[in-house]
Amino acid sequence: MRNFFIYLILCFFLIYIPNQAVCQSATTTECLPQYRFNGKKLILTEKEWKLRLSAEQFKVLRKGGTEPPFKNGYFDNKKPGIYQCAGCALPLFSSDAKYDSGTGWPSFWRAICEENVALERSYTPFSSGKKVSCSRCDGHLGDLFKDGPPPSGKRYCINSVSLKFIPNP
């Protein structure tokens, strides 16, 4: 019996761990310094957020709402550029990682810098994803699912109203 457990552990390390390393190296990219979150949080009162954001932005970014699919600003945007947080201007996603998921929301297969987005387990019924928020201002962005395209297999499904698009010059 002891040999069986040793065999199982050995199999785990020989099969699972190398595959994880391959997957991680294929899905991560070097985060450019100008996009990296510096760790300094933006903390405002609810009143300050209401003055800074539109009513729809406040509903989504601060209250965790969701905008309607296909009736938003960026789901079909194909221009090259950077998507920033609408609340604090932290760079979040690049058009290079954007794809048409058919969901009606902007979808990305990777963040511009993984540390720029925070992930939290979703406790909503029937959700298999994780909640995605901005690392700087804690604004709600959308959800992360594991049904995206290669190489990452990720689908960041993001509310357009949570984003500000900055086109490339």
What per-residue string of b and e applies to 132-147 under the rule 16 or more CB within 10 Å gives b? bbbbbbbbbbbbbbee
**Which of the following is catalytic: 85, 113, 137, 157?**
157
Contact at 8 Å (CB) between 53 and 61?
Answer: yes
The two three-digit tokens of residue 43, written as one number = 């903390």
Q: Which stretches of the chain are assigned E, i.e. beta strand?
A: 81-85, 91-94, 98-99, 107-108, 117-121, 130-134, 140-145, 155-158, 163-167
Residue carrying the six token digits 């009513």: 55
157 in active site: yes
Which residues participate in catalysis according to the annotation? 157
